[in-house]
Structures are given as C-alpha cells and as structure tokens.
Amino acid sequence: MRPQRDKQFMQVSQKAWRITRLLTVYRIVLALLLMLLITTGYLPEPLGASAPRLFLIASSVYVVVTLLAIYPLLLRTPDYTWQVYFYTCVDILVFTLMMHASGGVVSGVGMLLVVSIANASMLLAGRMSVFFAALASLAVLGEQFYSQIYVSASAYNYSMAGLLGLTLIVTSVLATVLARQARESADLAHARGVDLANMSELTEQVISQMATGVLVVDERHHVRLVNEAARRLLDAPSQMLGTSLQQFSTELNLQLLLWRNQGLQSTEKHSIETLPASLLVQMIRVGRASDETKTDVLIFLEDAAAVNDQSQQLRLAALGRLTAGIAHEIRNPLSAIRHAGELLAESDQLPVEDQRLTDIIQENTSRVNRIVEDVLQLGNRDRVSREKINLNKWLENFVEEIYCVYPEACSVLKIDDQSSGVLTVQFDSGHLHQILSNLCQNALSFVTQSLASPRVTLLLAGDLERGCYVEVINNGPLVKQDEKERLFEPFFTTTNKGTGLGLYLSRELAQANQCHLAHRQQDENTCFRLSFGPQAIIRELD
C-alpha cells in the first residue's frame, strides 16, 4: 500500500514541476516583453504613465528575478511549493508597483494579478491559495489608499479596487476547485488505466496459457493476436503478428472467407482438415461495426483428435466402471458353468453326439473369461511400475518365450535389430510384455492366411538421440480401408474368436507409459509400431 502511495506522490510531484516550469517560462516571456517595449519606446499607455522610472525599475527587477528562477527550477531545490510561495509574492509586489506607476487600478495592470493568483491556486492547497488572493487584494487596496493620500486626493477608486480584490478571491476559489477536480479526474483516469493495463496483462497471460488456440483477425484478414496453442495447432511458430492469416493456414483463411460470406451469424464449431492436425474451429464476431464485413473475428481452435480422445476417455471410464462391476459378478457363475461343462464331458453316460455341445460350452466360457480378464486389466492401466529395460536383450528373451509358448512361431517370427547401440528405456516390463504379446499373437494368427511364406518380423530401430521404436510386421492380409479407423476401438474385432480388446488395451498401456502405438501399411505388409517418447529413453550419461 505504501509503495503505491509513494508512486502516486511522485506522479503528483512530477506534474507540479511541469506546471512550475511553464509558469517560469510565462514570467520570463512577460518580463522580457515589458523590457523590450520600454527600451524601444513602444510601451502603450497608460503603462508607466504616472511614474516611468518606477515602472522601469519594477520591470528590471522582474526580469532579473525571473531569469534567476531558472537555476533553482533546474536543481528542483527548494521544493516547488516554496518556489511558488516566493514567486507569487514577487508577482504581487511587482504588479502592484507597476499598477501604481501606471495610474492605479484603472490602468488594468491589476489583471496580471488574476493570472498569478490563478496559477498559484492550481499548485497550492485551498487555504494558501486564498491567503495569497487575500494578500493581493490587500495590496490593491493599499495601493489605492497610498495613491489617495500621497499622490492625488481625487484618485478615489475604492469600488474598482474592491471589485478587483473580489475577483482575485473568486478566481482563487474557482481555480482551486477546478484544479482539485482535474487532479481527481487525472487520478481516476490513471487508476482506470492501471486497472485496464492489469486486466490486459491478465487476459494475455490467461490466453497464452490456454490449451485452446486463440486468434484475433481483423477485416483485412491480418492476425492481431495469437497464442502459443494456436501456433502449435497451425504449425506456425515463427509467423509475425500483423501478417495475413494465409501465412498461418490456407485452409483456415478459406474457412473464414466462407464464414464472412454467410453473414457472420453462425457460432457453431465445425471441423477442417489442415496440417498438422484436424481442427475444430469456432468463429465469433468481435464488435458491432455498421459494416459487418469490417468487424474483427475471434477464432477458437481445438485439436479434433484430442477432443475425440477426451470424449472417448470419459465414455470409456464410465463404461469401465460399469463393466468392471459386471465382470466381477460374471466370473463366479461363469466358473460354475465351465466346471459343470467339464464334469459333463467326463460323464460316461453322455452320448457321443452331445460331446460337441460340451466343447462349445468350453470354448465360449473360455472366450467370455478372456473378455472378463481384459476388462479387469483396463482398470489397472494407470498402475505403472517403470523400470530400466535393455530393449536389445529384453526382446531376445521375449522371442525365446514366444517360441516356447507357440512352437509354430520358430520358423515364422524373427528379430531384426537395426538399432545403433544399446537402447535402454524406462517402461513397465509387464505392460511391455502384454503389448508385444498381443501384437505378436495377432500377427501369428493373420500370417496363416498369407499366400506367400508366412513371416513375422520384430524390428528394433532408432537411437538415443532421435528416439527408438519396436515394430511388429507381418505379411498377412492388409487391413481394410474401412477398418483402419476402428482398429483401436474397444470390442472391435475382425475375427470370430477375438474379444476386440487386445489392440485397445495395448494402446492404453502404451499411453500409460508415455509412449505411442500406431498402425501403418509398409510395403504390402501390416505394421504396428510402438514408439518410445523422449521421457521414456534413458541416455548413457544419465
């Protein structure tokens, strides 16, 4: 609070010194002008008509005093209030002498006192300004009294002297009131300016930290404001403010043109395809100009994939809680059904034709049990226990385990280590085993449908600088175009025996370890790549 008051005091002091400088310039110009008129002989009547010598002396003194006033003004010492006190007294004395030398109050010289008192009232408190006004009024009345006694008994102008004195006092009061109101208005304007600046800074900070991209575009499609999220979504990190929206995104600029042609009424979100991501765009008119085509436009940008993922995560979270509860309730009766089927199959009295029914019971109970287990594992995706894993050695051990579990994989599954050195990552070993097991099982099941020699390759590539990845590649049938977008959806499967949760669970486990699992076609082969993020890679210096 105290620093704020000190700052306000400094601002008031700065304004007062500026006014004092202007008044000093006014006095110097007035004094030099009077001296010039006296020396050239063009001094108009009645100035100096009654006592030319006194008028010359008073003018000369005024010139000297005003010129000497420059020195303390530049040094700002003493304080401006004391300088105002002194020079106001000098004005009263000099102007009263000039008025006396010019024939008294009727000469009009006394009006210079009005200017001096008004100037002093702008800088001084109310009581001091009235004091100087009263002092000037007494000086005027004293001059009138002196003139009547010692100069001319007929110089009887007390009424005009009284009016001038009243004018001085009223001027002082009005100038004080107006100066106070001006200072209050200036303080209020300054306070509002500070509030506005703080609000503007706060708004900029909020906008800059928003995950949603924000742009403001003027009527000429020049970008006036853009936050970091918008630059990232539009892949425009270096474009300068004031440049055309075309430089940021051609698709977004075209969308804005279409929106303007439609009348700037719609505020609904719509999707556009642009690099590097598909975006959800919302446009809102800013301002109420008479010509709607010349208004600014506020544009909000969101990553459509992120929004869809978030929406899907919310749905799946609710679905997961529901299915987990159902799964626990299913396992007990499911175990009873399976056990009963096994006992029934062992019965000697069961007809041969009914043996097939018991096989169906066993197959379907096993499938339902796998679904239940996969659903229960979804609830454990966030329970990550990372550890250092040497990928090169870990994959060799993993393949040996696959050979033991699936002997037919010995002639099909091979490792292709193209890494540049030893690759060490931070990953949950259980999650990594489950991800690659799902991918390898899928690959081994699909290569049996290959027209060529079945082949599954477990490729390790990359380095510590650019990142590394593991790919599971098979030469089985390619994924159909309409199935690509649904590959990682839960409960989506292309086989009768699949649960539809393997790939979905694998991707969830990869994301839980801050890595990424994706599908792509590679030279007529099907490829699933597990990419390790920078935060998962361990460098040798660590």
- So what's the pLDDT on residue 290? 55
The verdict on 6 and 136 lying in the same domain is yes
**Does the pLDDT value for residue 57 go beyond 90?**
yes
Give Cα 193 distance to the centre of its chain.
20
Tokens 């210079």 locate to 112
The verdict on 151 and 14 lying in the same domain is yes
- Structural domain containing residue 357: 308-378
When pLDDT is cut at 50, 70 and 90, the band that residue 181 belongs to is confident
The string of pLDDT tens digits covering residues 437-446 is: 888 988 888 8
**What is the rounded distance in angstroms from the CA atom of residue 37 to the CA atom of residue 35?**
5
Q: If you average pLDDT over residues 334-342, what whole number do you get?
A: 79
Q: If you average pLDDT over residues 331-343, what whole number do you get?
A: 78
As for how many domains the chain has, the answer is 4
* Alpha-carbon torsion angle 269, 273, 278, 281, nearest 10: -20
**What is the rounded distance in angstroms from the CA atom of residue 403 to the CA atom of residue 410?**
6
The verdict on 397 and 517 lying in the same domain is yes
What is the residue-averaged pLDDT of the chain?
81
The verdict on 274 and 251 lying in the same domain is yes
Percentage of the chain beyond pLDDT 90 is 15
- 274: in domain: yes
- 202: in domain: no
- So what's the pLDDT on residue 137? 92
Helix, strand, coil % over all residues of the chain, rounded to 5 = 60, 15, 25
- 199: in domain: no
**What is the rounded distance in angstroms from the CA atom of residue 435 to the CA atom of residue 391?**
14
**Does the pLDDT value for residue 210 go beyond 50?**
yes
Task: Enter the tokens of residue 53.
Answer: 């010598």
The verdict on 98 and 68 lying in the same domain is yes
CA 242-243-247 angle, 5° bins: 150
Contacts of 171 (CB under 8 A, 6+ apart): 114, 117, 118, 121, 133
**Does the pLDDT value for residue 28 go beyond 90?**
yes
The string of pLDDT tens digits covering residues 377-430 is: 665 555 677 888 888 899 998 888 888 888 888 888 898 888 878 888 888 888
**Does the pLDDT value for residue 277 go beyond 70?**
no
**What is the rounded distance in angstroms from the CA atom of residue 483 to the CA atom of residue 386?**
33
- 49: in domain: yes
525 - beta bridge partners? 522
Q: If you average pLDDT over residues 473-495, what whole number do you get?
A: 78
- Asked if residues 334 and 372 have their Cβ atoms less than 8 Å apart, the reply is yes
- So what's the pLDDT on residue 269? 80
φ and ψ of 515, to 5 deg: -125, 180
The verdict on 52 and 183 lying in the same domain is yes
Relative to beta strand 467-474, strand 525-532 is antiparallel
Q: If you average pLDDT over residues 153-166, what whole number do you get?
A: 79
